[in-house]
Structures are given as structure tokens and as C-alpha cells.
Amino acid sequence: MTGNLYRAEKADRYASGGSARDLGQAGDLGTNRRRNEIDPIDPGGDCDDDQRKETSLMMYGGNKRLGAQSCIPFLMVAAVLALVCRAEEAVPSREALTEPVYRVTRSVNEPKAPAHPLDPCLCMAEKALQHVQANVDDYTCMVRKQERMENGTLLPAETFFAKIRNRKMQNGKTIVPFSVYLKFTEPAAARGREVVYVENANNGKLYAHEAGMKRFMKAWLDPHGPIAMRNNRYPLTDIGVENLTSKLIERGSRDRQHAECEVKVIPGAKINGRVCTCIQVMHPEHRPYFDFHVARIFLDDEFGFPTRYEAHTWPTSGTGKPELIEEYTYYDVQVNVGLTDVDFDPSNSSYQF
């Protein structure tokens, strides 16, 4: 700005008859003006001496108005310089930034992924499993089961008395092994049969003897072997409400991958007089990845774990009714009765081994 005022003053002196020295400086001013395409004093290059003098007087506080050709470009340049200065002052250094300049946030109106109908059921089953593992050490009960074999044959129902002790872990180690004792009451051909199994004992084998006149037939058997698995869909190692709950969670998590599912929660259902919450799961369409057409799980409201499970396949006969695949009912349940190793010892004097 000071340089511009100085050049304006020299031009004014030249126009008023200044010295030769002033004349040379004014000539330099003209040369500089021609070199610069835009000059704050005379941007157009066509102003006469009166305009230059008028400009000089205005810059020094004169009362003449600045010419339009000189005033407008000057004000534009001054405004641009002011804006640039302000912008530079407003930009903080990188070190001064305390949070990211750019943020990506989720819109409050963004739709959430739809919940699967099985989600509430899985939540209930997981809570039941946690409850059993934390609060149920052992129990006695009666068990009724009926199963259809892979060849389509529906076997007669079986009933047996059971003593079951749940596995207990501490620091990743088993301190109480999963243990089972069974004594069959139905059907008549199996009445009196007894079975004992203790996890991680007896080389992983169960001990059993037959019923009636065959009770002298005793054997250590692989729970997964052909003899022990005869007329059974699952091995003895899968028995019990804890294993049942785990299997339901596993199956429900697998079915959750598919959308074809209808769920009903029916409170106030009863199993042998005990109040339960019934969960009914239905797959309307027959798909190869579904194990059943309709299943029902009965959660005992007091015990907090399932005491009955039944599953049916899609109708195959002319009746149009779903056909039973499997059912398991635990009744007359007594929880935390204090079972010990003696209850799972074949040499127990109250057993017939």
C-alpha cells in the first residue's frame, strides 16, 4: 500500500510540472504500469493525468471522488486480501485439532436389521442353560421318551427312572463328572434294565444289564457303539435337561439362518400339572435344511429349564397330520438332592448289577 501511494505522489508531481528527476521516476512508474497487467492505481492503463491526480488527492484525504475505473478494482483487490488473511488466521494447525475433521455418523432414521422370530426363544434358552449350569447340581426324575428311527419306524414309548448329576467345571478342569443312572419301567420287555455311566471313567464306557431272565447279561459298552445305540436316536451321553437345552440352542441357531419360521409363545401350559411356557416353532415349507415341521418346547416356570420337547415332521400320510419324530418328557423332578459317587457305582447294593 505504501509503494502505491508513493507512485501516485510522483505521478502527481509530474502532472504539476515537477523536476526532471521526478520526470524520470514518473517514467519508471509508467514502465512498471505497462509491465503489470493489473495495477492497483491504474489497472486499465488508459487514465489521463487528471484522473491520476484525482486518485492521488483521494488517497491523501482529498475531497474529490475516486474515479470508477480506479476505485472498483482497488476495492476488489483489498477485499480479496482481507478475506485471505482472515481465512489463514481461522485455519488451526494440525497439532491444534483435538478431534477428527471428518466424521461418519449413523443416521437416527437408518433402519435396523429385522429381528428373527427365533431370537426371543434363543434368549430364553440361553438363560435357562445359564441357570442350570449355575444352580442345578443334580436331580432325579422320571423320563418318558418315544422316537422314530431313520427307517420311519415309530418305536414304543419307554419310561425309566433317572438319577443325573451335572458336570461342574473349575479353572477349566472337571471337578464333578457328568453321571447317569437309569432303571427302566416300560415297556414290559425292558422293565428292570439298569444302566450306569460316569464321564471320563471306565474308559468312557457305560455299564448295563438286561431285564428279566436276561439280567445276568452284563456288559461294558461304548455309548456310541451299535449295541448301545440300538433303538436310540442319540447316545446316552446326550441325556438330561442341560444337554437338551444345549441341543435346542444349537438347532435354533442353525434354523435362524433361514427366514421361513413361525413362532408362538403360549404361557400357562401344563405338563403333569406343572405350569410351563410353551414355545412352538413351525417351518411351513419342507426344506432339506430343516429338521422338523413343528416343534414344541415346554419351559417349567418354577424350575427355569425345559421339561418337555417334541418334534413332528411334515405330513406324509393321507391324514394330513404331522407325524411324531421324537418326544422327551422329564416329570416328577426333584432338584439338588445331593447325589454322590455311590449313586453311580454298579456295586451299589440297591442295584441289580
Average pLDDT, the chain: 80
What was the pLDDT predicted at 45?
A: 45
What was the pLDDT predicted at 216?
A: 81
Helix (H) or strand (E) holding 251: helix 241-255
Which pLDDT band, with edges at 50, 70 and 90, does 38 fall under?
very low
Which pLDDT band, with edges at 50, 70 and 90, does 83 fall under?
low
What was the pLDDT predicted at 320?
A: 81
What was the pLDDT predicted at 185?
A: 97
User: Of 328, 283, 292, 293, which is closest to residue 310 (Cα–Cα)?
Assistant: 328
DSSP 92-130: PPGGG--S-SS-----TTPPPPPPPTTHHHHHHHHHHHH
Top mean-pLDDT range of 35-39, 112-116, 230-234 = 230-234
Q: By mean pLDDT, which of 17-31, 171-185, 210-224, 290-304 is the weakest?
A: 17-31
Helix (H) or strand (E) holding 248: helix 241-255
Domain boundaries, the chain: 2-90, 119-344
Beta bridge partners of residue 266, listed in sequence order? 278
- Distance (Å, whole) CA 308 – CA 291: 17
Q: Which homologous superfamily is 119-344 in?
A: Lipoprotein localisation LolA/LolB/LppX (2.50.20.10)
- Distance (Å, whole) CA 322 – CA 316: 8
pLDDT at 18 over 80: no
- Distance (Å, whole) CA 343 – CA 101: 70
DSSP 23-90: HHHHHHHHHHHHH-SS-SS-TTS---HHHHHHHHHHHTT-SSPPPHHHHHHHHHHHHHHHHHHHHHHH
Q: Is the pTM above the cut of 0.75?
A: no
What was the pLDDT predicted at 89?
A: 52
Give, in degrees to the nearest 5, the angle at Cα 71 between 70 and 74: 90
Which pLDDT band, with edges at 50, 70 and 90, does 283 fall under?
very high
Query: pLDDT, tens digit, for every residue of 242-275?
Result: 999 999 999 999 999 998 999 999 999 999 999 9
Query: pLDDT, tens digit, for every residue of 193-222?
Result: 999 999 999 999 999 999 987 878 899 999
